[in-house]
Amino acid sequence: DEMDLEFMGNIRGKEWRVQTNIYGNGSTNTGREERYNLWFDPSDDYHQYSILWTDSQIIFYVDNVPIREFKKTESMGGDFPAKPMSLYATIWDAAPGPP
């Protein structure tokens, strides 16, 4: 099971985007990725990013503003995240290398 909040990088002059991912029971059919534009430059100041995870829903927040709500349905079966998980925070420089 996995829940992610990922910054997608930025092109100067474009809005910053964040991507949320939800995977349950190894499934990539339910939840998947959704991208959202941020209303600020996240590199200018500190911000709060959080995930509320209950047995019936997952809500992603940015500065206490919900940006994605994912509700469990019967049709998902075991594809809703329910297993214990760990928390990781990383910086991954995915910029292309020199030509």
Whole-angstrom distance, CA of residue 72 vs CA of residue 76: 7
CB-facing half-sphere around the CA of 77: CA atoms within 13 A: 4
pLDDT tens digits along 61-83: 999 999 999 999 888 878 889 88
Name residue 81's amino acid. P
Q: How many domains does the chain have?
A: 1
Catalytic, out of 2, 15, 33, 69: 2
pLDDT digits (tens, 9 = 90+) for 20-63: 999 888 777 777 789 999 999 888 999 999 999 999 999 999 99
pLDDT at 9 over 80: no
87 inside domain: no
Active-site annotation holds for 69:
no
Whether residue 10 has pLDDT greater than 90: no
pLDDT given at position 54: 95
What distances in angstroms separate CA 64 from CA 15, 28, 43, 95, one per listed residue?
20, 28, 18, 30
85, part of any domain: no
Listed in sequence order, the residues at least 6 apart from 55 whose beta carbon sits closer than 8 Å to its beta carbon are 72, 82
Confirm whether 20 is domain-assigned. Answer: yes
Active site residue 2: yes
CATH value at residue 15:
2.60.120.200
